[in-house]
Amino acid sequence: MKESKKNALEVLSEQYVGLFDDHLRKLLEIRNGIPVRLAESMDYSLLAGGKRLRPALCLAAAERCGVAPEKALPMAVAIEFIHTASLIHDDLPCMDNDDLRRGMPTNHKVFGESLALIAGDALLIWAFGHALSHLPDMGIPYDRVARASALLAEASGPMGMCGGQTLDTDTASRRLEEGFVYSIAAAKTAALIRVSVVSGAILGDISDTDLRCYYDYGTHLGLAFQIVDDILDVTASRDELGKTPHKDEAQDKLTFVSAYGLERAKSLAIEESEEAMRALEELFPEGDLLMDLASFLAERTF
């Protein structure tokens, strides 16, 4: 029987996610000094089966900039720790109040709100400790480690994810102006996706001009990703999503679908993915998996 052609996300996963997951599992086996229940709570969400898009992007960008993926693993781990922390916090009753994530009960449903909050906090701090202490062990020069880590902090903090979550969840911060939904998505989602790409690239020897290409790619990929996330909330099933569908409307969220309608949102996702591909054209005139990925993610169904 003829094997069907793999999509770009499957190819990316094949190249990087196995490596990442093996490394993560070994890392989580060392639990020196971590209280058992805190380790269990962190492990539960980390190993719940996410797509690993962000760490894979980091490893792929690093490899394209001359750094073996194995050497960039501590950066990829830091990024997945922060992403997972943000999901644990996002699901809490005081935020989105969700009971399903990655196809499993949310962290606070299993471990309670207090431990879920601490597990998120712990992952955030551990992320930076891990990158700062282990990237130099891999032979990455300190100045690159510091630059990549500073950018990761920027993408996660008040100008990045925390700021985006404020615009998304604090109704008093909501503004009626055209394009406000882009401000939410840029900070809440695109900042971390962009820094996943940019931090990987920075670990290598890269010019500012080339870095700009990765920066623009990450921004547009991140926007496309959030637009599709909003679309899937209204079109996909609980099984496909691994989380509760139709939450955005129930919570009166400002999304690309509520702002522009479903059909327009679909075209906006394609426009952003085309911008992402264009950003890499000069670096990869013959094309590249990262460009195929942008095209695939704009039309993903999970």
Task: List residues near ligand GRG by CB under 6 A.
Answer: 50-51, 53, 82-83, 85-87, 89-90, 95, 102, 120, 124, 156, 161-162, 165, 188-189, 226, 229
Backbone phi, psi, residue 33, to 5°: 80, 0
Residue 82 near residue 127 (C-beta atoms within 8 A): yes
Provide, rounded to whole angstroms, the least separation between the CB of residue 185 and ligand GRG: 9
Nearer Cβ to ligand GRG (22/205): 22
Nearer Cβ to ligand GRG (140/276): 276
Burial of 123 (0-12, 13-18, 19+ CB in 10 A): buried
CA distance 267 to 30: 46
Nearer Cβ to ligand GRG (140/269): 269
Residue nearest to ligand GRG (CB): 50
Q: For residue 103, how many C-alpha atoms fall within 13 Å in the half-sphere facing its CB?
A: 9
Nearer Cβ to ligand GRG (13/189): 189
Helices (H), the chain: 8-12, 18-29, 36-46, 53-64, 69-91, 107-111, 113-137, 142-156, 161-169, 180-185, 191-202, 208-235, 238-241, 247-250, 256-260, 262-280, 289-298
Provide, rounded to whole angstroms, the least separation between the CB of residue 124 and ligand GRG: 6
Residue 156 near residue 128 (C-beta atoms within 8 A): no
Provide, rounded to whole angstroms, the least separation between the CB of residue 120 and ligand GRG: 6
Provide, rounded to whole angstroms, the least separation between the CB of residue 207 and ligand GRG: 30
Nearer Cβ to ligand GRG (120/245): 120
Residue 222 near residue 186 (C-beta atoms within 8 A): yes
Nearer Cβ to ligand GRG (74/120): 120
Provide, rounded to whole angstroms, the least separation between the CB of residue 173 and ligand GRG: 13
Provide, rounded to whole angstroms, the least separation between the CB of residue 82 and ligand GRG: 5
